[in-house]
Amino acid sequence: MSWVYLLLAIGLEVAGTTSMKMSEGMTKPIPSVLMFVFYVMCFSSLSLALKEMEVGTAYAIWSGLGTAAIAVIGVYFFNDLFTVKKGIAIALIISGCVLLNLGDGAHGEMPSKGTSDAGMAVKELRS
């Protein structure tokens, strides 16, 4: 279920950023309000994803895929310039997200209890 929340957070972040662009510096009320609504829902969904995923992996995928999606939307809907450099950068972002997820073999799942000193420190802070 954490992947569903993460994908939802990515979609909502993209919608929020698109609304930000459409608000024209927050001069248009409907896109401006939608921007805040989408971002609140985005961070809520991301928070739910983080209950079962490592924060580094989730954040990298969320920010990376969101950035790539916004770059593509900018080209297709807002007439942003597409260059070979931009295409390569988008491909590298997506490749990095895939490698980050597959690199450790955990596929974004939380490690077992007590697997690291940092995990122990966080656990002690919570109690």
Average pLDDT, stretch 43-69?
Answer: 93
Among 3-17, 71-85, 113-127, where is mean pLDDT lowest? 113-127
The pLDDT value recorded for residue 127 is: 54
Give the Cα separation of 87 and 30 in Å (integer).
32
Q: Tell me phi and psi for residue 101, to 5 degrees.
A: -70, -40
Distance of CA 109 to the CA centre of its chain: 16
Domain, as residue range, for 97: 2-126
Look at the chain and report how many structural domains it folds into: 1
> Does pLDDT of 97 surpass 60?
yes
Calculate what percentage of the chain has a pLDDT beyond 90: 67
Q: Is the pTM of this model over 0.85?
A: no
Spatial distance between the Cα atoms of 27 and 118, rounded to a whole number of angstroms:
45
Angle 41-1-33 (CA atoms, 0-180°, nearest 5)?
A: 10
